[in-house]
């Protein structure tokens, strides 16, 4: 069994490779998928719940590298249970799961005490496109709706439900911690509706920082780290709501060098960023989720 350090290094190196060696590709958290029920953020075949945190990036890196379009992933046994099987010669993608471990140790007073901690474990999944069946989970299987006009009301509902104060006007988008408000240009100033929502969700992720335990005053939470969290969080929200991200990499390019440097120096960096991005997006969605949705935690 591989140790946690090796697992983190391998995952971090795969993400660094995706960012460095694919200059013409979008980063693994940014994916302008088509409007198809089988496209979007990586989702568990067995539960129908989407993966979160670092697993989102792992699976999107794998899909990008292998050309998978479907969002559905499952273990060998889950795929078998669904009435299909993995094609011969197909290689799995390793994702991680945190498992609680209990042990007894002797404390400084010589007494036995219980210790509870989490240990990272790997398990293997396959995309439905690596199977002999599961056609209903492939992109293009479902006939498109005759009304192809995009609908954005559900995204507006998510924004409204957060209760955040958003002031429209001007040419800048930013969150002001001093008065806890967001400033946004008017909607018509954006090239596309997607660009508006992407920017608004980015600023909402900053709005969520203090509300989800993200302390900007800590030295490890640099400005570029906060921008990476908001960038990924915005993309996670777009994917959750079925909206494609744009291919505007202006902000991404500005911070890429610092992100790569931080990942190379600390293999925990991308884990912390993706976990915080998932926490922020989940927090923002919690205001508009139904009771049933809230009872279904995301897969980490």
* Spatial CA neighbour of 155 closest among 193, 183, 205: 193
- Sorted by sequence, the CB contacts under 8 Å of residue 68 that are 6+ apart come out as 62, 127, 129, 130
Pull the structure tokens for residue 11. Answer: 């995952």
- Sorted by sequence, the CB contacts under 8 Å of residue 9 that are 6+ apart come out as 267
What is the C-alpha to C-alpha distance for residues 219 and 20, in angstroms, rounded to an integer? 26
Question: Within its chain, how far is the Cα of 123 from the centroid?
Answer: 19
Q: Distances from the Cα of 73 to the Cαs of 26, 70, 76, 151, in angstroms? A: 21, 8, 10, 27
Residue 297 has a pLDDT of 42
* Spatial CA neighbour of 27 closest among 285, 206, 273: 273
Q: Can you give the pLDDT of all 300 residues of the chain as single tens digits?
A: 667 677 777 777 777 777 776 655 667 676 665 567 888 889 999 999 989 888 988 998 898 888 898 999 999 999 999 999 999 999 999 998 877 777 777 777 777 777 776 677 888 999 999 999 899 999 887 665 555 455 688 999 999 999 999 999 988 999 999 999 999 999 999 888 988 999 999 999 999 999 999 988 888 888 888 988 998 898 889 888 888 787 766 656 666 777 878 888 888 888 898 889 999 999 999 999 765 454 344 454
Residue 35 has a pLDDT of 63
Residue 298 has a pLDDT of 44
Residue 155 has a pLDDT of 93
Please state the pTM of the whole predicted model.
0.75
Residue 102 has a pLDDT of 74
Enumerate the H helices of the chain as residue ranges: 4-20, 54-66, 76-81, 153-161, 193-208, 223-240, 250-265, 269-286, 291-294
Residue 113 has a pLDDT of 76
Residue 148 has a pLDDT of 47
Residue 252 has a pLDDT of 61
Identify whether the C-beta of residue 270 lies closer than 8 Å to the C-beta of residue 263. yes
């Amino acid at each position: 069994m591989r140790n946690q350090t090796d697992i983190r290094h391998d995952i971090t190196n795969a993400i660094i490779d995706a960012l460095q060696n694919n200059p013409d590709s979008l980063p693994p958290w940014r994916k302008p998928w088509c409007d198809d029920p089988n496209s979007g953020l990586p989702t568990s075949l067995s539960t129908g719940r989407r993966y979160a945190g670092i697993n989102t990036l792992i699976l999107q890196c794998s899909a990008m590298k292998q050309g998978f379009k479907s969002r559905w992933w499952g273990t060998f046994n889950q795929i078998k249970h669904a009435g299909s099987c993995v094609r011969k010669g197909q290689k799995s993608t390793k994702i991680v799961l945190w498992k609680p471990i209990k042990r007894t140790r002797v404390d400084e007073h010589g007494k036995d005490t219980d210790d509870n901690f989490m240990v990272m474990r790997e398990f293997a999944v396959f995309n439905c496109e690596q199977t002999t069946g599961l056609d209903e989970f492939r992109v293009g299987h479902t006939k498109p709706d005759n009304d192809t006009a995009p609908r954005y009301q559900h995204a507006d509902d998510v924004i409204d439900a957060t209760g955040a104060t958003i002031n429209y006007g001007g040419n800048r988008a930013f969150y002001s911690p001093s008065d806890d408000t967001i400033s946004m240009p008017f909607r018509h100033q954006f090239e596309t509706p997607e660009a508006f929502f992407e920017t608004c969700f980015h600023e909402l992720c900053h709005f969520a920082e203090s509300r989800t335990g993200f302390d900007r005053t800590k030295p490890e939470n640099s400005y570029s780290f906060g921008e990476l969290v908001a960038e990924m969080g915005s993309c996670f929200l777009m994917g959750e709501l079925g909206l494609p991200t744009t291919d505007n990499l202006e902000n991404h390019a500005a911070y890429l060098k610092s992100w790569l440097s931080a990942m190379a120096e600390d293999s925990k960096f991308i884990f912390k960023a993706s976990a915080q991005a998932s926490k922020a997006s989940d927090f923002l969605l919690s205001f508009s989720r139904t009771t049933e949705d809230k009872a279904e935690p995301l897969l980490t």
